[in-house]
Structure 1
């Protein structure tokens, strides 16, 4: 037997004896040190780590306190403020929960419960912060803002889908969440306005679902078909079918009016692409991977959407590393819709080109 083998043999024997001795001794509970994040970092450092200002973090903790506060103050309970900061840190870095647990001074299992609790509490604020324009004044304001982008009239929103990576959900339906890029994801449908506010979000469809299928099954389509926004329309990419309330690009523009229509439609719709870039850069957990159960991933997506609108409404400072410029075309663009086009569905687009864009040539 070599010297190394003898050392390893003696070490293993000692470890076995230590295990027998200490197996009957009750493990003492250890409380890790929790750092005061507000006093440790200045405003800029705090913004880079949590993606929100100290003012908004305090307001959020105060508002959510009745929903997330612990029922007891014993055993070094985690305060509402600490819970909010743990969730914000997870949204901001998207790292493993054990890393966040080490920096926050709590157990990994506690971090998992806290992120889920805070995410659901923020997601419940969705009706207050995410909604389509509900009266004529709001609709006209949204349409005017869109018109100023590239002179496209009567637009109430730009619609598209983006893939949020998740871990494999497991089970017999796991492969439904594998998208065309062969990664597991949730295909999230979003409608935004010209100022990059999220006005509608659907975050429950697996990555293999096509954009047009998600839209066809959505509540917003029923509202559009019921005439709630009559006279106005959404702008979508070539993955959607043309509808009286949904304008898509022409496949093969020929005339000058058709080319002008396509250029204006694409430039106006580009706001949704820039939104996705800003949303994911502010909360990188959306672009790295959400390493939680599927039921916990959905509230995280909605919660970050609510926080995005909050940051814009409160005019939160933008982290220095965030770039708001994105190319006109998205690398996430879905396959072109190949279904048949109904002539009545194309009537509005044809009239718009003939009566508006042809006059501008």
Structure 2
């Protein structure tokens, strides 16, 4: 009995020591597994502007910090969705992704500057933000109709070259797109590339007051104008004040004045010169729009979307352009400056001998120039 007891007493501390060793080994094994396991790290996406300075923000996104934040608040109701997923992309990051695409025109630039978002997610975000911006277009792209806004517009144009009674400069521009599958031939313009023919009217501050982005590139400028609601408003007498200034691609009307083809006296030459300087605002508006948002310029490639989606992107860029004008955001420096568009017979629209616009233009030249 004495011997057995001593054995038991000797084996008890050995068993306890072995148990502690097993526990230590298990602890080390768990720690090693934790180190080997790849931990999920979620970035803070709620404040994506915090790590960039103001110069970089305008350079990459075309809008200043405060305007991006205002835009996020304005679009929040359209961009926030009820979801069971954790770490959903917040509206602020969605807006920045879309702005980066508008500014650069390619998905690679977006993925390079905004990490952690797939190309498919970028495409969906651009589509969502674009649709939200289009809903804002009636608030930002508005033609002057009340007396105060009409008077302000007329005064702004008169300061350019003293051309009287002007409420808008009108012109068209072609936005390049990918060749669509349906009715591909309709989108080939006279310069032999696929495009959307966009008609716009601007004021003296280069802000767009009317925009029509829905017709294929083969459509003539006069056709786009004739089938616009703004034309209907002028024709029906809804606009009884002011003149639009257009080039020879548009029909001469009592409310739409075009240059004199083949001027025969100094008065007509003076009229053409002042007309061109005043109407040039729409050329400059298009130039600034395309410098800001390369996605709609040749330098950014072509819009690789269905024509209907491309038209919405064009409208969204016009809304953002007007936001920049309203807030005096400086335009980016031009990379490929282009000359003015000259009057050519190819763009001329025959006016007819009994056109009432000819009489209006003749009286203006006789009394003013």
TM-score bracket relative to the smaller structure: 0.7 to 0.9
Work out which of the residue numbers 299, 305, 311 in structure 2 matches 1:292.
305
Q: Give the corresponding residue for 1:336.
A: 348
| CA pair 103-140 structure 1, distance change in 2 beyond 3 A | closer
1:137-162, Cα deviation, whole Å (9 max, x unpaired): 21111111111111111110000000
Q: How many residues align?
A: 326
Alignment match, 1:314: 327
* Root mean square deviation of aligned Cα: 2.4
Stretch moving more, 129-138 or 70-79: 70-79
CA distance in 1, matches of 2:277, 2:76: 43
The verdict on how the C-alpha distance between 1:249 and 1:317 changes in structure 2, with shifts beyond 3 A counting, is closer
Q: Secondary structure at the match of 2:252?
A: coil
Shift in alpha-carbon separation, 1:34–1:168, aligned structure 2, 3 A: farther
Tell me if structure 1 keeps the 8 A contact 2:253–2:355: no
Partners of 2:318 and 2:177 in 1: CA distance = 17
Q: Distance in 2 between matches of 1:333 and 1:75?
A: 62
**Could you say which residue in structure 1 is the equivalent of 2:189?**
179
Tell me if 1:44 matches 2:55: yes
SS of alignment partner, residue 114 of structure 1:
helix
Q: How far apart are residue 192 of structure 1 and its match?
A: 0.3
Residues 191, 272 of structure 1: 8 Å contact kept: yes
Mapped pair 1:54 → 2:71 = no
Contact 1:177 1:185 in 2 (8 A): yes
Which residue of structure 2 lines up, in the alignment, with residue 70 of structure 1?
81
Structure-2 separation of matches of 1:252 and 1:83 = 53
Name the residue aligned to 2:289. 279
- Which of 303, 314, 331 does residue 301 from structure 1 map onto? 314
Give 1:23's aligned residue. Answer: none
The Cα shift of 1:292 comes to: 1.6
Which protein is bigger by CA-based radius of gyration?
2
- 1:262-298 per-residue CA deviation (whole Å, 9 max, x = no partner) reads 1111111001111111010011111032112222111
What does residue 17 of structure 1 align with? none
CA 1:170–1:324: 2 relative to 1, 3 Å:
closer
Unmatched runs of 5 consecutive residues or more in structure 2: 1-37
Q: Is the 8 A contact 1:158 1:236 kept in 2?
A: yes
The alpha-carbon deviation at position 345 of structure 1 amounts to 3.0
In the TM superposition, residue 115 of structure 1 has moved relative to its aligned partner by 0.4
TM-score, structure 1 as length reference: 0.84
Give the Cα–Cα distance (whole angstroms) in 1 for the partners of residues 278 and 48 of structure 2. Answer: 41
Q: Does 1:351 align with 2:363?
A: yes
